[in-house]
Amino acid sequence: MGKTDICELLQIEYPIMQGGMAWVATAELAAAVSNAGALGVIGSGQMPADVLRSEIRKAKLMTNKPFGVNIMLMSPFVREVMQVVIDEKVPVITTGAGNPGEYIPALKEINTKVIPVVASVALAKRLERVGVAAIIAEGTESGGHVGSVSTMALVPQVVDAISVPVIAAGGIGDARGLVAAMALGAQGVQIGTRFVASSECMAHENYKQAVLKARDRSTVVTGLSTGHPVRVIANKLTRQLEAMEHSGATNEEFDRIGAGKLRAAAREGDVTYGSVMIGQIAGMVNEIKPVAQIIQDIVGGIPQVMSRLNTMF
């Protein structure tokens, strides 16, 4: 396939980024994605700075290609983590849950590209003004923390509103999704859920199997009443959280119940009472494959998708 602005910006072969999933997107996954020609991303979540530094250095031993780090700006370690990224000269960072503006001057000094994840046009416009390199427009179909607008509706509105390149995220897992995103005006895509079901992903086998067993309606969004909605696979934890929402539980009560549940699922394999953060495309994922094969399936499927479209128009 041809190069897009995102390929040039990030120095990658294919316009595909891997989602920075906390407790799931480790150095092993990020390096495998980068080695396959896309952009791998380490998910820092709420990692302390020394743990992130170790992950970054591990990735550097596993790939000589560009990779990124996802930083949650609400992390209690955000300042220390940002300093690690600067010290290690990470080429790309993606951000969520806040405005990275105060860190951009220092990151630009080392030529690090800052690409925030947004769920609204207003936030995309505000972040473009602070000097970001691109924007990830993430629809509500994605796993984890989500907004309320679908990818199909969000991406073209963000594309029309800003001048920097847009990367589409949410509900994308194959060649059809990539082509659709490009048709909406995106210059690339971010994919998370599909890479969970990969050989190189270090998530617990139970977590991967939960993805394979999922169907189109297996995910639910919890936390709507708290202002922090999260898409996860429905299980006993989600039913407990839904009951708490109906009873008017406080944010503190939700935080108490939810603390540590993502780690419990992703690392310890508790997919009954843990938080299995997965997107709506889980129903499309039926097999664990090496990362390189996943990417080649996506890229290699584009000609067939385009051929079918050409017969229709």
The 10s digit of each residue's pLDDT in 206-234 is 999 999 999 999 999 998 877 788 999 99
Mean pLDDT of 255-271: 90
Express each pLDDT in 105-155 by its tens digit: 999 889 999 999 999 999 999 999 989 999 999 999 999 999 999 999 999
SS3 label, residue 231: strand
**φ and ψ at residue 91, rounded to 5 degrees:** -70, -30
Could you say which architecture CATH assigns to the domain 5-202+287-310? Alpha-Beta Barrel (3.20)
Report percent pLDDT > 90 for the chain.
Answer: 81
Q: What is the length of the chain?
A: 313
Q: Domains of the chain: which residue ranges?
A: 5-202+287-310, 205-281
Contact (CB, 8 A) for 203 and 225: no
Distance of alpha carbon 304 from alpha carbon 269, whole angstroms:
38
Q: Which of 2-11, 211-220, 296-305 has the lowest mean pLDDT?
A: 2-11
Contact (CB, 8 A) for 68 and 40: yes
In this structure, what token pair is assigned to residue 210?
């939960």
- For 213, residues 6+ apart whose C-beta sits below 8 A from its C-beta are none
